[in-house]
Amino acid sequence: MTSPQKRYSKAEKALLIGAVAMITIFAFESLATTTIMPSVVEALGSELWLPLAAGAPLAAQVFTCVICGPLVDARGAVPFLLGGVISFAVGLLLCGAAPSMVVFTLGRTIQGLGAGLAVVPLYVLVGAISTSEHRRTFFAAFSMAWVLPSLIGAPIAGFAAQTVGWRPVFWVVSILIFVTLLPLLPLMRLAPVPSGYVGNAFVRRAIYALIVALGLLATQASAVVNGLVSLVPLILGLAVSLLVLPTLLPAGTFSARPVLGAMIATRGLTIAANVAAISLIPMVLETVRGWDPAEASLVVAAGSISWAAGSAFQSRINQRRERLPRWGSVFLAVGMLPVLTLAFPHAPVWIGVVGWTLAGLGIGLTHATLSDLALEQTPVSKHGEVSSALQLADNAGPALALGFVSLALSLSTQSGVAPWFPALSIAAVIALLGVFAAHRIATAVSERE
């Protein structure tokens, strides 16, 4: 089941330190923003802006991760890693200084562009520098990089929002992100040799990616519009995104065709369910249960810890790894059902917390495993392309899910129905679809054997 691993090279150690540090900062920003978003919305606008502010970075990353993969393969990792970090910092500074939700959302969009540019080069460096034996440990470490921010980052952000305010949170992170570059810069010479050629299809894919990103933004912006008019941008955005997105993903993704298509589909569906739920849980706990931001952050932390535990466990499994996404997706779907009880004021909170913890374990078993399995199937020269597909699934899936969350919030508010149960139900349904896609991975591999 497990086997001893060879020693890590100096380059692997430096890459592990730098990449984990950078992802830790990304994780801190994500969890901190989730935790303090109620305070931001209260200060700058209504809660209907929540899906748009949460989804704007995801829509931006859809565009950057599509163009970044071929460009990294063709031009090298250095300019995109540096450009991504700078853009991320600029977006955070703008968020911290935002006088309105419009400016705040713009800052979140720029920040998303930066994160999308930075993550693909990290994946390419892992594929180039780490051995196949160590690669799964890298991806497990990337998941575990979310643990420390969830334990101390989210509570710190919640405490800051209650004391000095939410703005300094963004300013501090904009400085820390540059520190993470120090171990990585010497490794740039070890990146794959650029091919110098991006291909004739690049411009077409870039245009399609921009169309999808704008469509996703339209779905999230629908909640800001009052009345039934909100259905217009939502339906148009979803239709455009769903029509164009298949051209940017590996063939067979939307039908979960084994094996790579099913892997990308599982990746998108499971992370979509997770993000849709985590974007709502703090607001539900604060509005329905009367919790403060610091208390709500503890529930977010429980899911992050179990995510890391699942990711650590998968890194120890050497046989039948294709079965891990199936089990993980089942845990995720089963865990989402008790989370629905958080929307009911008189239901015991511990039921929802246990469910969210189980869901975190499921995404931990699934997410890092799919990174390893997908890269394992492709040559190093195509790692940028596959990394882009993984990142596109990570961003397009949640962005689409948040579009449906926007619809649920908007329609529920207009009809007088409590909005949180319908919105949380969307996450549960998406998780069930993930079970179907993950099942096709294991079934296809078993048939081949």
Query: Which pLDDT tens digit goes with each residue over 143-184?
Result: 778 777 777 776 788 788 888 888 998 999 999 999 999 999
Task: Evaluate whether residue 4 is within a structural domain.
Answer: no
Instruction: Please give the share of the chain, as a percent, with pLDDT higher than 90.
Output: 29
pLDDT at position 374, please? 83
Domain count, the chain: 1
Concatenate the DSSP letters of all residues of 283-310 into one string: HHHHHTS---HHHHHHHHHHHHHHHHHH
Q: Provide the whole-model pTM.
A: 0.77
Mean pLDDT of 288-294: 81
Highest mean pLDDT, choosing among 134-138, 193-197, 245-249: 245-249
Q: Which amino acid is at 86?
A: I
Looking at residue 3, its pLDDT comes to 47
* Model confidence at 380: pLDDT above 70: no
Phi, psi dihedral angles at 344 (to 5 degrees):
-105, 120
Residue 3 falls inside a structural domain: no
352-368 mean pLDDT: 93
Given a cut of 70, whether residue 405 has pLDDT beyond it is yes
- Ranking 137-141, 408-412, 424-428 by mean pLDDT, the lowest is 408-412
Whether 49 has a pLDDT exceeding 80, the answer reads no
More confidently predicted of 142 and 48: 142
pLDDT band at 391 (very low <50, low <70, confident <90, very high): confident
Region of poorest pLDDT, from 227-241, 242-256, 353-367, 413-427: 413-427
Looking at per-residue pLDDT, the higher value among 442 and 210 belongs to: 210
pLDDT tens figures, 219-235: 877 766 666 777 788 88
- 414 vs 232, higher pLDDT: 232
- 254 lies in which domain range? 10-188+198-448
Q: Is the pLDDT reported for residue 393 higher than 80?
A: yes
What's residue 358's pLDDT? 97
Q: pLDDT at position 413, please?
A: 63
Q: Which residues contact 198 (CB under 8 A, 6 or more apart)?
A: 70, 71, 73, 74, 75
Query: For residue 390, is it within any domain?
Result: yes
Angle CA 117–120–124, to nearest 5? 140
When mean pLDDT is compared across 30-34, 46-50, 302-306, the lowest value belongs to: 46-50
Tell me whether residue 177 is in a domain. Answer: yes
The token pair that represents 349 in the structure block: 């909170």
Which stretch of 58-72, 267-281, 411-425 has the lowest confidence by average pLDDT? 411-425
Burial (CB count <10 Å: 0-12, 13-18, 19+), residue 242 = middle
Residue 2 has what pLDDT?
A: 45
What average pLDDT does the segment 205-218 reach? 90
**Amino acid (1-letter code) at residue 194:** P
- Computed over every residue of the chain, the mean pLDDT equals 84
* Digit-coded pLDDT (tens) for 103-144: 998 999 999 999 989 988 888 888 888 877 788 788 878 877
In a domain? residue 410? yes
In this predicted structure, the answer to whether residue 55 has a pLDDT above a threshold of 50 is: yes
The CATH number of whichever domain residue 173 belongs to comes to 1.20.1250.20
Is residue 1 one of the residues assigned to a domain? no
> Burial level of 432, CB count in 10 A (0-12/13-18/19+)?
middle
**136: in domain:** yes
> What pLDDT is recorded for position 1?
45
Q: What is the pLDDT of residues 315-350, one digit of tens each?
A: 787 777 778 999 999 999 999 999 999 988 889 999
277: in domain: yes
Amino acid in position 308 = A
Cβ-count burial 387-412 (b if 16+ within 10 Å, e if not) = bbbbbbbbbbbbbbbbbbbbbbbbbb
**Peptide bond connecting 244 to the previous residue in cis, omega within 30 degrees of 0:** no
- Per-residue pLDDT, averaged over 270-295, amounts to 87
pLDDT of residue 427: 95
